[in-house]
Amino acid sequence: DFLILFFCLPVVIFNEITKKRLLGDVSCRIVPFMEVSSLGVTTFSLCALGIDRFHAATSPQASTRPIEQCQSIIAKLAVIWVGSMTLSVPEILLWQLAQDTSPVNGVVTEYCTMKPSSNLPESVYSLVLTYQNARMWWYFGCYFCLPILFTISCQLVTRRIRGTEKGECRGTKHGQCESHLNCTIIALTVIYGLCTTPENVCNIVVAYMSPDMSKQTLDLLNLINQFFLFFKCSVTPVLLLCLCRPLGQAFMDCCCCCCEGCGPDTTSSEGSADSKLKTEMSSSIFFDKPRETPPPLLALGTPC
């Protein structure tokens, strides 16, 4: 989300204001690649979170499940990111820069067009052309239906399994934390679905009605799609920080530490240590392992 807002958003704004493409042909290839990669990362992350919640619900000893090792988490993130970027590689070969001269004032405008380069090898050109023809339904099935249906299925199965239990853990803190995590995943999925629905609708409409639509209408639809993508990238981190209390508290502590310069103030150090202790105790809910006794303050280190 940060990369989309930091790189793609300025390029799109610059293009709309000046009618010139910033970085030329490079941006025409990199921006779609990053946007589709972002959708892939979100899609597979939601699927991974759904699987994790399912395992937490079906584990015979869910309340005492050990904390997942850092190497395992990094491996999962690597698979998600590398897989998303690999599936987005055809976007680099599909787009290229084009120019159009206005018949009214003769101004040359630059825009990106979805057209494989004829300089590609024949085998690669054939694959890219096949991807272009199937892009709409691949986009709809993989980046829209997959995360939504996967999340709904995992939530239904999880609720079904928990509904068959005797309810011993429903009133406990662990059960409340599990419900809170499920609500967080559902909220992220709802935001993702709402922001990607207009783009998929526009893609289907354009695929069947593009000969009857003007270039201005197509450009407007493309701009609307990118606006919803930027909106999703802006809302998702804020929503995650608000719903995930340990993550939000850690973020606020980090920002306060950087702003105050990590001064040796005793009062602020004690307050930060107490806050970090609460964060450490509450963060255990995200690893399905409650702590019986709070850790000692000396083990927390500095407030930073």
| 50 part of a folded domain | yes
Q: What is the DSSP letter of 169?
A: T
**Measured CA distances, 95 to 23, 128, 209, 227 (Å):** 14, 10, 21, 19
Range of the domain at 12: 1-59+68-258
Tally of domains within the chain: 1
Q: What is the DSSP letter of 107?
A: -
Residue spans of beta strands (DSSP E) within the chain: 95-101, 108-114
Residue 85 pLDDT grade (very low, low, confident, very high; cuts 50, 70, 90): very high
| 238 part of a folded domain | yes
Joined together, the tokens standing for residue 201 give: 């609708």
| 234 part of a folded domain | yes
| 86 part of a folded domain | yes
Q: Stretch 124-134: mean pLDDT, rounded?
A: 87
Q: Which of 26, 125, 143, 32 is nearest to 83 (CA)?
A: 143
Q: Which one has a higher pLDDT value, 206 or 49?
A: 49
| 266 part of a folded domain | no
First to last CA, the chain: 25
| % of the chain exceeding 90 in pLDDT | 6
Distance between CA 206 and CA 226 in Å, rounded? 15
Distance between CA 37 and CA 81 in Å, rounded? 8
Lowest model confidence (mean pLDDT) among 7-16, 96-105, 166-175, 215-224: 166-175
Q: Stretch 160-182: mean pLDDT, rounded?
A: 63
Distance between CA 173 and CA 181 in Å, rounded? 12
Q: Stretch 84-109: mean pLDDT, rounded?
A: 81
| 302 part of a folded domain | no
Integer-rounded Cα radius of gyration of the chain: 24
| 14 part of a folded domain | yes
- Residues with Cβ within 8 Å of 201's Cβ and at least 6 positions away in sequence, in order, are none
- Can you give the CATH number for the domain in which 220 is found? 1.20.1070.10
| 246 part of a folded domain | yes
Give CA angle at 101 (98, 104), nearest 5°.
155
Considering Cα of 109, then 113, then 116, then 120, what sign does the dihedral take? Answer: positive
Q: Stretch 239-258: mean pLDDT, rounded?
A: 76
